[in-house]
């Protein structure tokens, strides 16, 4: 019991932060955290000593977050709704500066970033948090989420593309990105043309 609690305590802040960012109903975060720890304790015999305890705990937390979100009846954004063309945002002037020092950018961000992150699907959000915040490998994320590694990469790519799309105007208004890339303008013109043709 003491060893188990010591291991949970070691990752407590990371696990709580993950639950806080993944559970739609913030009033449920403490319950999700507690039920995840209880589930981990009840299933501690399933943990193989010598393997990655942190990844094992995160797998339990991911499942509990998904269950909590199902209970709030929030439907995730379809992966098909994200156009791969948004990857062109990386070419925008100033974008590399943000990548080199994201902490300065994030300190200046408002609620727009939080809202954009909440619009991601549960899988996209989980993959981005596990990779970019918790620094798990693709293989570890695949094991935690119980999905193929290629699917992890797809969720990451599309989730990041959606964030770039959602936050481009905000980043431009804040002066982080100086202009809208030509590829995005072309995509916008194309989308508008298709919308007019559909009418």
Q: What percent of the chain has pLDDT over 70?
A: 68
Comparing 176 with 154, which gets the higher pLDDT? Answer: 154
Comparing 107 with 1, which gets the higher pLDDT? Answer: 1
Both 139 and 113 in one domain: the answer is: yes
Distance, CA of 129 to CA of 16 (rounded, Å): 12
Q: What percent of the chain has pLDDT over 90?
A: 5
Our count of domains for the chain comes to: 2
Both 88 and 112 in one domain: the answer is: yes
Looking at residue 97, its pLDDT comes to 53
Both 88 and 65 in one domain: the answer is: no
**Residue at which a domain ends, from 71, 96, 123:** 71
**Residue at which a domain ends, from 71, 89, 118:** 71
Residue 125 has pLDDT above 70, yes or no: yes
Please, are residues 138 and 149 in contact by the beta-carbon 8 Å criterion?
yes
**Which tens digits make up the pLDDT trace of 81-114?**
433 433 444 455 554 554 455 555 555 556 777 7
Distance, CA of 11 to CA of 18 (rounded, Å): 11
Q: What is the CATH number of the domain that holds 155?
A: 1.10.10.10
Looking at residue 153, its pLDDT comes to 92
Place of tokens 């300065």: 104
Q: What is the CATH number of the domain that holds 52?
A: 1.10.1740.10
Distance, CA of 181 to CA of 68 (rounded, Å): 39
Both 91 and 180 in one domain: the answer is: yes
Alpha helices (H) along 72-148: 95-100, 102-107, 111-118, 122-128, 138-145
> What mean pLDDT value characterizes the chain?
75
Both 107 and 41 in one domain: the answer is: no
Residue 22 has pLDDT above 50, yes or no: yes
Both 194 and 126 in one domain: the answer is: yes
Both 127 and 91 in one domain: the answer is: yes
Expressed as residue numbers, the domain containing 157 is: 79-198
Confidence of residue 155 (pLDDT cuts 50, 70, 90): very high
Looking at residue 156, its pLDDT comes to 92
Residues 6+ apart with CB under 8 A from 198: none
Residue 39 has pLDDT above 50, yes or no: yes
Please, are residues 153 and 128 in contact by the beta-carbon 8 Å criterion?
no
**Residue at which a domain ends, from 20, 37, 71:** 71
Both 59 and 100 in one domain: the answer is: no
Looking at residue 187, its pLDDT comes to 55
Q: Which stretch, 16-30, 132-146, 161-175, has highest mean pLDDT?
A: 132-146
Structure tokens at 123: 């899988």
Both 14 and 63 in one domain: the answer is: yes
Distance, CA of 64 to CA of 33 (rounded, Å): 8
Q: What are the DSSP calls for 129-166, one per residue?
A: IIIIIS---HHHHHHHHTS-HHHHHHHHHHHHHHHHHH
Both 43 and 93 in one domain: the answer is: no
Looking at residue 184, its pLDDT comes to 53
Per-residue pLDDT, averaged over 37-45, amounts to 89
Both 183 and 101 in one domain: the answer is: yes
State the pTM of this model: 0.53
């Amino acid at each position: 019991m003491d060893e188990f609690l010591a291991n949970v305590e070691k990752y407590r802040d990371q696990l709580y932060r993950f639950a806080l960012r993944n559970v739609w109903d913030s009033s449920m975060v403490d319950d999700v955290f507690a039920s995840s720890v209880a589930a981990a304790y009840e299933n501690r015999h399933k943990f193989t000593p010598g393997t990655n305890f942190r990844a094992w705990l995160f797998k339990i937390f991911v499942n509990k977050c998904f269950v909590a979100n199902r209970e709030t009846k929030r439907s995730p954004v379809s992966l098909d709704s994200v156009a791969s063309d948004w990857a062109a945002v990386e070419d925008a002037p100033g974008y590399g500066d943000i990548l080199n020092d994201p902490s300065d950018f994030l300190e200046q961000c408002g609620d727009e970033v939080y809202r954009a992150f909440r619009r991601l699907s549960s899988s996209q959000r989980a993959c981005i948090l596990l990779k970019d915040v918790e620094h798990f490998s693709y293989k570890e994320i695949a094991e935690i989420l119980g999905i193929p590694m290629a699917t992890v990469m797809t969720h990451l790519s599309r989730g990041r593309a959606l964030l770039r799309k959602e936050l481009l105007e905000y980043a431009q208004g804040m002066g982080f990105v100086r202009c809208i890339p030509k590829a995005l303008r072309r995509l916008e013109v194309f989308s508008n043309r298709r919308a007019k043709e559909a009418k």
